[in-house]
Structure 1
């Protein structure tokens, strides 16, 4: 294998690396996946769950594109919940608890069954670069492996440093050594690097917990699933999670160790994730709160190991243990291992193109935490896009970029490339200005045709999506065309305190009322008959209801997106001289020269570039 030149080498086999290798290989590129430990492919380093607010939408998008994360999650899930169901569909977010061991096993098996993927276990310690073009990688044994493109997905391993109280030691994850050499090679090439941190809570023995003192957190009564494909099914039975709380006593015990906390005594200087803070950070920042939620999550179907969600910490292990024993239900807790913080190298993502290819080295791609993101889902989506674009590049085909109005993945990558990040970036629905368009229910309608066109999503997936679209459109048209008489609909309207009708009207108009759901309309014979005769499934029914109820909002967002895309079409020449534009503000010039946006739309989203600066550029470009 060492004398073979690969099309794509993927370094690292976490969530980003696994999706990158799968995408690259499925697009026909010969792919080598290099990792320090083949037993830990797609390891869930932190919580045993996929999805959540905005993250669930990303997993659906990955699946719609033909990625593996949704299928693996469905096949290894132990609980499923649709979050934010009480809000509008733009906010609905699927989340699944996974069996940690089976998740990693399923990923490995799927990758092994993917043609064009080779595997190699060793640390990559350097890059082979010739005249600004990537030529391959060098391993710690001095072996050189050649390729036309390289995707770096190093996670927390680049010069990783683990902190537990006043102890610190090198490592990329508990029990695994750090990776060295790559950062140094990149800095020599002119890359700017930085440090970030993240943390994880203790893992405990479920046999030592008293669940009777906690609140049960069951899954949905009728669970859904992530994948749009028919290779997975919803769960038939689920495992419960539980919830308990910290207390004033717990906080006091934790404070006793603050002087030995690497976060407070200056040992950790890098920035951690704001939206997933450690327990000591929560106590410090929210001093007025006398308790915080703790979610107790099983690590799998059969294991007794539990994840203590909400108790992430890098305090000394004896402080962690003493404080956790004061949490209700944890009085006799036994540790599997303590929580810890980890610092690692990242590279500000403004050094990348929208394809995730680096601006400095041709054929070199970054994906995942190396770009300053946090979370499995954010990493996996970047891996997917980097793998796609690496394969397209070696095949000399056009690049593939998702816009902000096309996918959360597009929002994520555009935010990183255009704005950069100085703290671990996490996706939220609020980051997407077109979230009514970017729902979890329609990811296949948005993305499967595009993915099939570039050679990733299968024909079977495309046909399945087209059938769903056709059935949904036809059902919406049924409601537009079909009238209902007052004597049929009024009893239903009265039951929900909605104003009654005096004459017949189209069902679409009735259905559009906020308090009239499809469940009410199914009581009408013509609707019931249509559903039964056309054998409509849950996905089609959900899609139809959303299209009827939110048609006004959807049309408005589409119009706004079309306006934005007009600026997207105005390209900025690669060597554009911003110094020639005397009317540009000094800050705008500095930012534009550093980030080098490719379109006026991207330029307008750079912090420090004002609408007047965009007007100046429009005039200069003859618009």
Structure 2
């Protein structure tokens, strides 16, 4: 479960794919036990399901010196930071009924889009729809603020479709601020957090761990004001001891022209948290009036565009979409970059950069034989000429950036408005942290999302079991169950879970129920309508001559068959909403494969259902290598499945872990609470299956 009680939740931009060189922590979200770092006073720090450890040096117990809590200075949940993650976290906590405070340095920067003004993409688009299915905000606001909408990978199957929208920065910020200011249970306050408030009382050590726990009491502002809360979520992103690099120059900043958060960083470091930076970068911003678009390839948005939110049937600016344009680098561009690599601090220093969203300098070095790299020129809004050149993030000095840009087709006379310097993932973590912090503050059970439930679960599990050594980016290929985890069915997978957990409003729940009833009606109509191949041929659907009767829903599994092909045979289908029809069509097309994947999910859930004791002492388990014992102690997996996914974990170690847990007085249990007894037939079968799976 997601144990947020007496714990500090950190959601950082260690998972972003663009921006400056940034301070980062191991990312926190939910899995089946704890995905947070735990604040401990004057002792070793360990975190269930987090790779990193630290040691407290001296933590000021600010709570012992603070004024007693009052209704005006006391909340259930405090969220620090108002970016993508913070906005979703505070709204989610408030939806659960928790009294929530959002703290941010500047009220007018809430909802600011730090780098690329877009949402979605391959993998990331599914995250946005999952956030929406849990009643989050970014999907609905993107539908209001989008200037161009496209489905990426449209030529491939729905399992890898990537909804994406180019966003108007000003509109997005405006609508996000309006939404948050109108949220019940949510207070918004300007202030800079300087310290974490810990309680003075000491809790007893956890069995199997030589540790003592300190309890979160709230935060302290730079103004010396103390605000009390048992749950604190830090979503400061790039501001936490952030730096900006241009050429060989470096200076502290969260975003360009905005101060970094130094006090809070020092407080966390003093408390024993490991602070580090991962290299990311942004491209320069260009003046669209100085670009020769006549020489470039235009890219149009989809018509009609598909909304992000399941609540919307259309987007606000469907008939006023802006064009993007395609251009590319060339050998002359690459020559200038190679000649100036020594002037980039990211190249000269060994800073770990993003593997999947590299700077143009990194691209030139890694793909030395490639003669061109694609650049997408994307507008930043309706009332601005600023253009975002997607694909050429860089940290070269200003003079070299301009020289390099003017070698690119269409940019020969371009004016640079701002040099390059060195988001959905963060929002996904934010909503999960907010939901579970709000639930925990009210002593309610957590919302648990596994790898089989959602890409959010995949993201969280990867970060917990594999750690964070480079900026993380979600892809459909990261999921074993991508036929099941699609953008089109995020509501079918998550909205009921969210409603039962208490984070989905009645409005969305009623809309979901109407859709679900209509979908079930359509599937029932198609399942009951069965014909022989000869009869189907009379409707122009002669796909087989094997003599086997098939239902209309089965016929959808054949290529190039659409819902409208059944209108003549089943006229009632015309009455079903087109969006619901599209869902039925995909479910039918994948039906054979979904049944196969269902067996894989069952096997996964078998391992996930076997919980490991939270206080398990790995030092006494025999026959474990020191390396694997160390990994288990750092990650502290909640389930056998999570242990198997730890990078480098061997089959032998897993079997030794299983045998030891079954021999202890408090054995691992199945989801129904039934213990797995040593020597039982069920145990022997499990061990054989484990060996076979490895």
User: Paired residue for 1:550, among 569, 590, 612?
Assistant: 590
Counterpart in the other structure of 1:517: 562
Matched, 1:253 2:253: no
Matched, 1:74 2:147: no
Q: For residues 614 and 208 of structure 1, do their structure 2 counterparts lie closer, same or farther at Cα, with a shift above 3 Å needed?
A: same
Counterpart in the other structure of 1:355: none
Q: For residues 463 and 258 of structure 1, do their structure 2 counterparts lie closer, same or farther at Cα, with a shift above 3 Å needed?
A: same
Report 1:117-128 matches (<5 A). 117-128=186-197
Matched, 1:530 2:572: yes
Counterpart in the other structure of 1:471: 518
User: Paired residue for 1:7, among 76, 79, 89?
Assistant: 76
Q: Deviations over 1:246-280 (max 9, x none)?
A: 111111122232121112222xx331211111111
Matched-pair contact (CA < 8 Å) for 1:78–1:99: yes
Matched, 1:192 2:274: yes
Counterpart in the other structure of 1:390: 437
The whole-number CA distance in structure 1 between the counterparts of 2:550 and 2:392 is 56
User: Shift of residue 188 of structure 1?
Assistant: 2.5
Matched, 1:302 2:371: no
User: Shift of residue 619 of structure 1?
Assistant: 2.2
The whole-number CA distance in structure 2 between the counterparts of 1:428 and 1:144 is 41
The whole-number CA distance in structure 2 between the counterparts of 1:301 and 1:570 is 53
Q: For residues 437 and 505 of structure 1, do their structure 2 counterparts lie closer, same or farther at Cα, with a shift above 3 Å needed?
A: closer
**Secondary structure at the residue paired with 1:199?**
coil
The whole-number CA distance in structure 2 between the counterparts of 1:122 and 1:140 is 8
Matched-pair contact (CA < 8 Å) for 2:123–2:476: yes
Q: For residues 113 and 505 of structure 1, do their structure 2 counterparts lie closer, same or farther at Cα, with a shift above 3 Å needed?
A: closer
Q: For residues 152 and 514 of structure 1, do their structure 2 counterparts lie closer, same or farther at Cα, with a shift above 3 Å needed?
A: same
User: Shift of residue 121 of structure 1?
Assistant: 1.8
User: Paired residue for 2:368, among 287, 292, 309?
Assistant: 287
The whole-number CA distance in structure 1 between the counterparts of 2:274 and 2:346 is 24
Q: Deviations over 1:358-387 (max 9, x none)?
A: xxxxxxxxxxxxxxxxxx110001111111
Counterpart in the other structure of 2:55: none
Identify which of structures 1 and 2 has the higher relative contact order when contacts are C-alpha pairs closer than 8 Å and 6+ apart: 2
Report 1:84-103 matches (<5 A). 84-103=153-172
The whole-number CA distance in structure 2 between the counterparts of 1:503 and 1:451 is 41
Matched-pair contact (CA < 8 Å) for 1:217–1:241: yes
The whole-number CA distance in structure 1 between the counterparts of 2:472 and 2:551 is 47
Report 1:356-435 matches (<5 A). 376-435=423-482
Matched-pair contact (CA < 8 Å) for 1:490–1:501: no
Matched-pair contact (CA < 8 Å) for 2:326–2:374: yes
Counterpart in the other structure of 1:582: 622
Matched-pair contact (CA < 8 Å) for 1:2–1:144: no
Report 1:566-605 matches (<5 A). 566-605=606-645
Matched-pair contact (CA < 8 Å) for 1:203–1:337: yes
The whole-number CA distance in structure 1 between the counterparts of 2:255 and 2:440 is 32
The whole-number CA distance in structure 2 between the counterparts of 1:80 and 1:427 is 20
TM-score when normalising by structure 1? 0.89
TM-score when normalising by structure 2? 0.80
Counterpart in the other structure of 1:140: 222
User: Shift of residue 190 of structure 1?
Assistant: 2.5
Report 1:175-254 matches (<5 A). 175-230=257-312, 233=315, 235-254=318-337
Q: Deviations over 1:329-351 (max 9, x none)?
A: 1111111101000xxxxxxxxxx
The whole-number CA distance in structure 2 between the counterparts of 1:431 and 1:319 is 37
User: Paired residue for 2:502, among 445, 451, 455?
Assistant: 455
Of residues 611-620 and 221-230 in structure 1, the stretch that sits farther from structure 2 once superposed is: 611-620
User: Paired residue for 1:105, among 174, 178, 191?
Assistant: 174
User: Shift of residue 152 of structure 1?
Assistant: 0.3
Matched-pair contact (CA < 8 Å) for 2:288–2:386: yes
User: Shift of residue 503 of structure 1?
Assistant: 8.6
Counterpart in the other structure of 2:688: none
Matched-pair contact (CA < 8 Å) for 2:527–2:553: yes
Counterpart in the other structure of 1:354: none
Q: Tell me how many residue pairs correspond in the alignment.
A: 579
What's the C-alpha RMSD, in Å, of the aligned pairs?
1.9
The whole-number CA distance in structure 2 between the counterparts of 1:316 and 1:187 is 32
User: Shift of residue 514 of structure 1?
Assistant: 2.0
Q: For residues 232 and 516 of structure 1, do their structure 2 counterparts lie closer, same or farther at Cα, with a shift above 3 Å needed?
A: closer
The whole-number CA distance in structure 2 between the counterparts of 1:398 and 1:137 is 25
Counterpart in the other structure of 1:352: none
**Secondary structure at the residue paired with 1:168?**
strand
Q: For residues 2 and 265 of structure 1, do their structure 2 counterparts lie closer, same or farther at Cα, with a shift above 3 Å needed?
A: farther
User: Shift of residue 517 of structure 1?
Assistant: 2.9
Q: For residues 491 and 47 of structure 1, do their structure 2 counterparts lie closer, same or farther at Cα, with a shift above 3 Å needed?
A: same
The whole-number CA distance in structure 2 between the counterparts of 1:419 and 1:597 is 11
Matched-pair contact (CA < 8 Å) for 2:119–2:167: yes
Mind listing any 5+ residue stretches in structure 2 that lack a counterpart?
Answer: 1-69, 203-213, 663-677, 684-694
The whole-number CA distance in structure 2 between the counterparts of 1:28 and 1:493 is 52
**Secondary structure at the residue paired with 1:127?**
strand
Counterpart in the other structure of 1:356: none
Counterpart in the other structure of 1:64: 133
User: Shift of residue 165 of structure 1?
Assistant: 0.7
**Secondary structure at the residue paired with 1:6?**
coil
Counterpart in the other structure of 1:619: 659
The whole-number CA distance in structure 2 between the counterparts of 1:59 and 1:531 is 29
Matched-pair contact (CA < 8 Å) for 1:82–1:92: yes
**Secondary structure at the residue paired with 1:136?**
strand
Counterpart in the other structure of 1:311: 392
Q: For residues 340 and 619 of structure 1, do their structure 2 counterparts lie closer, same or farther at Cα, with a shift above 3 Å needed?
A: same
User: Shift of residue 604 of structure 1?
Assistant: 1.0
The whole-number CA distance in structure 1 between the counterparts of 2:71 and 2:510 is 40
Counterpart in the other structure of 1:357: none
User: Shift of residue 493 of structure 1?
Assistant: 4.8
**Secondary structure at the residue paired with 2:348?**
coil
Matched-pair contact (CA < 8 Å) for 1:247–1:291: yes
Matched-pair contact (CA < 8 Å) for 1:75–1:232: no
Matched, 1:275 2:275: no
Q: For residues 489 and 275 of structure 1, do their structure 2 counterparts lie closer, same or farther at Cα, with a shift above 3 Å needed?
A: same
Q: Deviations over 1:383-417 (max 9, x none)?
A: 11111111112111122221110111011111111
